[in-house]
Amino acid sequence: MDLIFAEATPPGRGGVSVIRLSGEGARSVAEGLVGSMRTPRHAYFRNLTIEDETVDQVLAMWFRDGHSFTGEEVVELHLHGAPVIARRVSAALLECGARLAEAGEFTRRAFLNGRMDLAEIEGLGDLLAAETEAQRRLAMRATSGELATRTAEWRSWLVEAGAFVEVSVDFADEDVPDEVPAEAYGMIERLHASISKEIAGFSAAERIRQGFEVAIVGPPNAGKSSLINKIAKRDVAIVSTVAGTTRDVIELRLDLKGLPVTLLDTAGLRQSEDEVEVAGIERARERAFAADLRVHLSDSGDAIADLWHPGDIALCGKADLSGATEQAISAVTGVGIDAVLDQIFDRLRDRVAGAGIVSHERQLNELQMAANALENTQHLPVELLAEELRKANHALDRLLGRIDAEDYLDKIFLSFCIGK
pLDDT in tens, 164-181: 777 666 555 555 444 446
Residue 108 is predicted with a pLDDT of 92
- Mean pLDDT check: name the lowest of 60-69, 235-244, 259-268: 235-244
Residue 408 and residue 420: Cα distance in Å, rounded? 17
Question: What proportion of the chain, given as a percentage, has pLDDT over 70?
Answer: 90
Q: Is residue 240 scored above 50 in pLDDT?
A: no
CB–CB of 21/61 below 8 Å? no
**Residue 229, C-beta contacts closer than 8 angstroms, at least 6 positions apart:** 235, 236, 237, 239, 331
Residue 242 is predicted with a pLDDT of 46
- Mean pLDDT check: name the lowest of 66-75, 82-91, 312-321, 405-414: 405-414
Residue 63 and residue 76: Cα distance in Å, rounded? 9
Full-model pTM: 0.80
Greater pLDDT, 405 or 158? 158
Q: Is residue 86 scored above 70 in pLDDT?
A: yes
Residue 165 and residue 184: Cα distance in Å, rounded? 7
Radius of gyration from C-alpha coordinates of the chain: 29
Greater pLDDT, 84 or 271? 84
Give the model's confidence band at 407: pLDDT under 50 very low, under 70 low, under 90 confident, else very high: low
Domains of the chain (ranges, CATH numbers): 4-101 (3.30.1360.120), 119-201+358-413 (1.20.120.430), 221-346 (3.40.50.300)
Q: Is residue 67 scored above 90 in pLDDT?
A: yes
Give the model's confidence band at 270: pLDDT under 50 very low, under 70 low, under 90 confident, else very high: low
